[in-house]
Amino acid sequence: MAILDLRFYAIPFRFLLFLKILVSMFAFGQQITRTELGVGYYGQTNTNFAGTQSAYRSGYSGPFARFSFNLNQSVALEASEFDSTNLVPSDNKGGGHQVLVLGGIKAGLRRRHLGVFGRLDAGAASYSRGLELIEVDNGRILNVPPTYYRETHFALEPGATVEVYLASRTIVRADVDENLNAVFRSVNFLGGNLYQDLGGYVPHHLGVSLSLEHRFGRLEEDAPVFSPKPEHFSVGGYFPLQIRGQTENFNAPALGGGGAWIEAPIFRLLSADVVAFDLPHDDFTAGTQNGGTPFAAFAGPKAGFHLDRFGVFVKARPGITRFSRTESSLTLTSDGQFISVNHPQYQFSLDTGGVFEYTPARHVQVRLEVGDNLIFYHAHSVAYSYPGEQGIATTPATHASSMLFLVGAGWLNHRGTHRRKFNVDSLKNPTTWMLCSIHVRCFAIVGPLPFLRASALGELDGIPSN
């Protein structure tokens, strides 16, 4: 009779033990407190006035402090303050010491030993040497050192966070973010009949920080509250506000308009969005890469989760931005008149940031989107013709960030019932593991019976039974 290897039936037991260990490490929540306080070190790159990619200089660095208030295990409100210890040369809009004050929201998944979050903060960036004023008389500098004035700009900072929980009250945290400043155009009085016209732009900086955080207050057992995203289709209207730097005259106006979105579900935590908006304000310019009225359209994924009526998501949507009037040729006639030929131009764009949803009623949805609309301007050539001279001038490819805010409301259509929510607490119940063990043991006993019967009848592996 063939020998039956029952070691095969020990595999389900090992798998059950591995599953229990894995779930204990990653699926269970942890004890949290409502308040956390941390200190750390922050470093940030810096760009010059033009905001060009090749103009990175010495950045800002120094200590910072942060306060967090946990609404639950998945969402927290935060406030931070950073003060650089080094000096950066002035470029009339930023420089010297930087003070960065931010507040915002952090949302993500927190497990026993590790947490991963997305962040979206807003606040102010203030520079001690924003405007540099040098008084000159007949080639001789009168004020040495020059006079500096503080410049303060609106700041927007999306980013990502990873937390490692060393103990119940001790956290090591690492952050990576993109810091955007809205630098608006300004005219400064210099005395007498002198004025200084400083344009606007939206520089973007890369920031990295490492901090040690401590939890204060009573530890609470807070199970994960996130739930799978319900399947639904939604459509609505947007009111966009975009702060975009222009490549020609370095202006950064805040432009509003109208738009719409369409959302289609993919699966539990992921959906596809199509967003389009138009900014009808005409800036009456015709640059080589932008000008006129912009129109933008994006399509891409939106991933996140719902907390009852509230939803928190991240977005990454590629698309295009169309400018209605850009310059293709320029002619100077003999009588001193300029003749310009213009045409629309399309630029590739990337829309990243955060999305917040609120569902006040079953079929009503309110949405807020905040993020960075990065426009990649391709190289463009303009043919020019002057008396006695002709040629082609080429503007090199570049990219520029812009702040994009979308606020709107729409109609929500639920497709059937929601998916059944998975209750993580049920895994903590010993009865669950006992039932699983009984099921595996029954399989170990009943499973070999067909093999034993086959062996008795001489049908196993072709070996006849005696």
Instruction: Report the alpha-carbon distance of residue 206 to residue 119 in Å, rounded.
Output: 14
Q: Do residues 161 and 216 both lie within one domain?
A: yes
Residue 253 has pLDDT above 80, yes or no: no
Question: Mean pLDDT of all residues in the chain?
Answer: 76
Domain final residue, candidates 168, 197, 225: 225
Percent of the chain predicted with pLDDT > 90: 34
211-227 per-position pLDDT tens digit:
999 999 888 875 544 45
Q: Residue 45 is encoded by which pair of tokens?
A: 């790159």
Q: What does the pLDDT look like over 306-355, one tens digit per residue?
A: 777 888 899 999 999 999 888 888 787 777 777 788 889 999 999 999 99
**What dihedral do alpha carbons 198, 201, 202, 205 form, nearest 10°?**
-70
Same domain, 270 and 372: yes
Q: Is residue 464 one of the residues assigned to a domain? A: no
Provide the CATH number for the domain around residue 411. Answer: 2.40.160.20
Write down the pLDDT at residue 433: 46
pLDDT at 24: 44
pLDDT tens digits for 40-65?
A: 999 998 764 444 443 445 789 999 99
Q: What confidence score (pLDDT) does residue 133 get?
A: 66
What is the count of structural domains for the chain? 2
Q: Is the pLDDT of residue 191 over 60?
A: no
User: Quick one: pLDDT at residue 202?
Assistant: 83
Predicted local distance difference test score (pLDDT) of residue 439:
47
Q: Is the predicted pLDDT of residue 177 greater than 70, yes or no?
A: yes
Average pLDDT over residues 81-109: 86
Please tell me whether residues 390 and 250 are part of one structural domain: yes
Task: Tell whether 366 is covered by a domain.
Answer: yes
Residue 302 located in a structural domain: yes
Q: How far apart are CA 387 and CA 66, in angstroms?
A: 63
Q: In this predicted model, which residue has the larger pLDDT, 464 or 328?
A: 328
86-95, 124-133, 218-227 — most confident range:
124-133
- For residue 156, the enclosing domain spans 33-225
Which residues are CB-contacts of 278 (< 8 A; sequence separation ≥ 6)? 257, 258, 259, 293, 294, 295
Interior/surface letters 322-361, b for 16+ CB within 10 angstroms, e for the rest: bbbbbbeebeeeeeeeeeeebeebebebbbbbbbbbebee
CA distances from 57 to 61, 137, 310, 393, 400 (A): 13, 31, 41, 29, 17
> Binning pLDDT at 50, 70 and 90, where does residue 460 land?
very low
Say whether both 265 and 412 belong to one domain.
yes
Question: Is there a single domain that holds both residue 207 and residue 346?
Answer: no
Show the beta-strand stretches assigned E in 253-337: 254-256, 258-267, 270-278, 294-307, 310-332
The answer on 165 and 47 residing in a single domain is yes
Q: What is the pLDDT of residues 111-123, one digit of tens each?
A: 888 999 999 999 9
Q: What is the CA radius of gyration of the chain?
A: 30
> Does 164 lie in the same domain as 135?
yes
